[in-house]
């Protein structure tokens, strides 16, 4: 890792689900470390505000355009549903049109939770959750893999780091009766990440699964958790993780030398005893 805090300098990243929480923190931290970032989310106003926030940080050359040597981060927005293939294509094409080269770092983060068990969770939300958490992740893994693998030279596949990072979940490793459908979708996302790691690792692309425990974000509200439940988590496990904790881990993983892969990582609040 470079010591000047610019360990992502020159990298071109795509971050799905960057209008809130983990995705937003990852996009900001990669940009602060010198990466150019394509950011995505469905709420276009929030996305635009994020782009302006990133582009206001020390940009000297006009946009769009290649990242000048030593330049700080810059961002380009692709608003829309990260499960839709045309939006996925627009993100990956956007890296080329806005920054002059293919993305070499893709964060598959967009997703949502759903409280409740197989018996009690809201069936009306099952398919929409699976569509983004599983099908969206699968489509992005496929598209990103098709673009990252050819970047690796056969003579030296790990000459430069190329990364896909999938944000899974603790409950995608240890199923819980309290978020059963969600957990099952994250089991699938984790399996897709591992299968893709085995396919692309030998070609030189790192595919990393990060499986967080409880991160305080908009996730709990979207998943329909009651205030009581969230308060209970805080009382039992505080301090809970923050999106910035996950961003720091992402930066650690992707700034390892290209031949070193920390590939399957669980991160929890220290006091979280479940699952």
Ligand X SMILES: NC(=O)c1ccc[n+]([C@@H]2O[C@H](COP(=O)([O-])OP(=O)(O)OC[C@H]3O[C@@H](n4cnc5c(N)ncnc54)[C@H](OP(=O)(O)O)[C@@H]3O)[C@@H](O)[C@H]2O)c1
Mask: binding to ligand X, 117-156, rule CB under 6 A, as x and -? ---------------x------------------------
Q: Does 111 bind ligand X (CB under 6 A)?
A: yes
Q: How far is the CB of 267 from ligand X (least distance, A)?
A: 9
Residue 77 CA to residue 247 CA, distance in Å, equals 19
Q: Does 7 bind ligand X (CB under 6 A)?
A: no
CB 54 within 8 A of CB 75: yes
Residue 165 CA from chain centroid, whole number: 6
Report helix, strand or coil for 247: helix
- Pick out residues in 23-42 that bind ligand X (CB under 6 A): 23, 40-42
Binding-site member from 51, 92, 158, 167 for ligand X (CB under 6 A)? 167
Q: Does 269 bind ligand X (CB under 6 A)?
A: no
Q: How far is the CB of 150 from ligand X (least distance, A)?
A: 26
| Dihedral angle of Cα 219, 251, 253, 140, to the nearest 10 degrees | 50
- Pick out residues in 49-108 that bind ligand X (CB under 6 A): 81-83
Instruction: Give, in degrees to the nearest 5, the angle at Cα 124 between 275 and 134.
Output: 55
Q: Does 22 bind ligand X (CB under 6 A)?
A: yes
Q: How many residues bind ligand X (CB under 6 A)?
A: 31
Residue 137 CA to residue 127 CA, distance in Å, equals 14
Q: How far is the CB of 257 from ligand X (least distance, A)?
A: 27
Alpha helices in the chain (DSSP H): 21-32, 44-55, 85-99, 126-130, 137-148, 180-200, 219-222, 227-237, 243-254
Question: For binding to ligand X (CB under 6 A), which residues are involved?
Answer: 16-23, 40-43, 81-83, 109-113, 132, 167, 169, 212, 214-215, 217-219, 222, 243
């Amino acid at each position: 890792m470079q010591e000047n805090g610019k360990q992502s300098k020159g990298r071109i990243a795509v971050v799905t689900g960057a209008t809130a929480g983990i995705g937003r923190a990852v996009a900001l931290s990669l940009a602060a470390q010198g990466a150019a970032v394509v950011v995505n989310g469905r709420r276009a106003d929030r996305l635009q505000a994020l782009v302006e926030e990133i582009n206001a940080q020390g940009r000297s050359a006009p946009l769009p355009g290649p990242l000048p040597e030593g330049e700080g981060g810059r961002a380009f927005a692709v608003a829309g549903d990260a499960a839709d293939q045309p939006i996925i294509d627009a993100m990956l094409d956007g890296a080329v049109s806005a920054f002059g080269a293919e993305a070499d770092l893709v964060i598959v983060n967009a997703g949502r939770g759903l409280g409740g068990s197989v018996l009690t969770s809201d069936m009306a939300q099952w398919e929409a959750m699976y569509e983004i958490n599983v099908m969206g992740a699968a489509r992005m893994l496929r598209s990103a893999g098709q673009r990252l693998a050819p970047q690796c030279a056969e003579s030296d596949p790990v000459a430069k780091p190329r990364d896909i990072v999938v944000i899974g979940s603790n409950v995608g490793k240890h199923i819980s009766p309290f978020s059963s459908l969600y957990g099952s979708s994250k089991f699938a996302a984790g399996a897709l990440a591992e299968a893709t790691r085995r396919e692309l690792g030998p070609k030189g692309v790192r595919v990393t699964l990060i499986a967080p425990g409880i991160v305080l974000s908009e996730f709990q509200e979207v998943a329909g958790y009651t205030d009581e439940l969230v308060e209970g988590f805080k009382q039992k496990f505080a301090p809970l993780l923050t999106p910035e904790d996950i961003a720091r881990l992402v930066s650690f993983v992707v700034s390892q030398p290209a031949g070193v892969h920390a590939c399957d990582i669980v991160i929890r609040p220290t006091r979280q005893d479940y699952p």
